[in-house]
Amino acid sequence: METYTAMRHFADSWGLLAMTLFFLGVVLFIFRPGAKKSAAQASAIPLNED
pLDDT digits (tens, 9 = 90+) for 1-50: 799 998 888 888 898 899 999 999 999 999 998 888 888 898 999 998 86
Q: Residue 32: what residue type? A: R
In this predicted structure, what is the pLDDT of residue 13?
85
Residue 48 and residue 36: Cα distance in Å, rounded?
Answer: 18
What residue ranges do the domains of the chain occupy? 1-32
Q: What pLDDT, on the 0 to 100 scale, is given for residue 50?
A: 67
pLDDT for residue 34: 86
Count CA atoms closer than 13 A to 42's CA, side-chain side: 6
